[in-house]
Amino acid sequence: MPDPTPYPLDQLIERGSAQAPALALRDRTLTYEELRNGVARLAGWLASKRDKGDRVASWAAKGELTCLLPLAAARAGLVHVPINPLLKRAQVAHILSDSGAALLIGTKARLGSLEDGDVPPGCVTIDEAETFSLAETENTIVPPSSHDPEELAAILYTSGSTGKPKGVMLSHANMWLGAVSVAHYLGMESDDVTLAVLPLSFDYGQNQLLSTWYAGGCVVPLDYLFPRDVAKACARHGVTTLAAVPPLWAQLTDLDWPAEAVSSMRRLTNSGGALTLELVRDMQSIFPKTRIFPMYGLTEAFRSTYLDPALVDTHPTSMGRAIPFAEILVIADDGSLAAPDQEGELVHCGPLVAHGYWQDGKRTRERFKAAPDMSEYGGTAVWSGDRVMRDADGLLYFVGRRDAMIKSSGNRISPQEIESAALGTGLVAEAVALGVEDERLGHAIHLVVRPARDAAEPETALPRALQKELPNFMQPHVIHWRDALPLNPNGKIDRTAIAAEICA
């Protein structure tokens, strides 16, 4: 078991050898010494502009700023709020308002897309291109911090089963121990090179940075246009670690991989949805000597389980066992510990459990509850709502989701967000969004609507309107037009009947 003692998050980069490569950018590679200097200088500038505990948001593509900011904000005593660069102004406005952000750093084009009222009063916006220039001019150096590891370090926004995105509160300890845990069970070393293709606004994506830096390795951030860009980057940088979600793996396994990329690869990891047996076989065919790590996680507790690569051939559909620092219980409907092969709710206990939802006591109480009496950790646990089973050998298997969340291309999507956007166009009177199982996407997004009475050519106007209001990963793949939607005995829209019809 790795060291369970948490430290301030910004100290992660103190472990790397000074002249070893730490961050490979497009035009240069930063050593650990340069990385430490950059974080210290950026933290100094932030600390001079904002008060301790203020929220600083970032809305930019992967680069030096988005990679350094999680540690620099933590060192300055601020709370980082990374915003998915694929989101559009309506979602960004909600996150800024909900988090009470005091500072927003973003690319010039993204900041320019915001409209009057999108930025809350008192929130300062600044172009990321100016940030480093101002930090260098001020040149205030802040040494490694001594913050209490239980202090808040980040708020990651994730879609809920209803309503707008909610902010998950993560402490220094949550993120530190998450990095230690992953680096440990993946067996990461100081000569590892991680290609960071996942968004840094996701816990899975951000951990690409933190676990690699904890091990003293090098991160290569990549915003790719085409799947082949990923394969080329792996060959060019001698990548040893690649993390992706199932839809991306489906695209990557269709490629002809360069021999250099295959020979350097040590491990492949997956989360954000289960790998199919076909995908596993394709990955093994391309990377016959590479270890594959299927994983399961939830933002509220970072990550819960992983499957030992030695078991992938014999148990390809298993979620595996608990990661270090996680205790995973399967609780039956009567509150008892589920017996082998008995279905129950996955409950995650231990120090990786987040501190709840930002300024949302109601939803926090629904998901974050006292750990079951049989828990070794005790305290607060995350009651996931996911139904799982544990076999006689202790391996976990996913059964289904209790809520109506759509999981498409590795993104957790709230149906209500899509429905609200559709209704907001004025083109439809009623709307129901749901996910339909899809081999490549996980879920394809279907939107069932009844047109508004006076809408002009809604069938052509609605897709165009949604393109303006929703990011690409939230766009419906199919829109079904109905003269009326079925109602249940209570007079509400019968979502069960709609799902049965669409999924038939």
Question: 208, 24 in Cβ contact below 8 A?
Answer: no
Name the amino acid, one letter, at 66. T
How far apart are the C-alpha atoms of 258 and 273, rounded to whole Å? 27
Amino acid at 62: K
Residue 458 near residue 428, CB atoms below 8 Å = yes
Residue 254: name the closest of 437, 442, 440, 473 by CA: 440
pLDDT along the chain (504 residues), means of 10: 96 97 97 98 96 97 96 98 92 96 97 95 95 92 97 89 80 98 98 96 94 98 95 98 91 95 98 84 96 95 96 94 98 96 96 97 96 97 94 92 80 86 90 91 94 90 95 95 82 84 86
Q: 96 near 123, Cβ under 8 Å?
A: yes
Give me the CATH topology for the region 406-503.
Answer: GMP Synthetase; Chain A, domain 3 (3.30.300)
Model's pTM, two decimal places?
0.89
Structure tokens at 172: 């220094």
**CATH code given to domain 1-171+193-217:** 3.40.50.980
pLDDT given for residue 161 in this prediction: 47
Instruction: Give the closest residue to 66 by CA, choosing from 147, 154, 139, 181.
Output: 154
Query: Does 224-402 match 406-503 in CATH topology?
Result: no
Q: Report the DSSP beta bridge partners of residue 164.
A: none
Dig out the tokens for 298 from the structure. 């939830």
The highest-level CATH class for domain 224-402 is alpha beta
CB neighbours of 102 closer than 8 A, spacing ≥ 6? 50, 51, 54, 55, 56, 122, 123, 124
What was the pLDDT predicted at 196?
Answer: 97
Q: What does the domain layout of the chain look like in residue ranges?
A: 1-171+193-217, 224-402, 406-503
Question: Cβ atoms within 10 A of the Cβ of 136, count?
Answer: 12
Helices (H), 3-127: 32-49, 64-75, 89-99, 108-113
Q: Supply the DSSP string of 167-231, one letter for each residue.
A: EEEEEHHHHHHHHHHHHHHHT--TT-EEEE-S-TTSHHHHHHHHHHHHHT-EEEE---SSHHHHH
As a whole number of angstroms, the distance between CA 20 and CA 326 comes to: 31
Token reading at 244? 């992706």
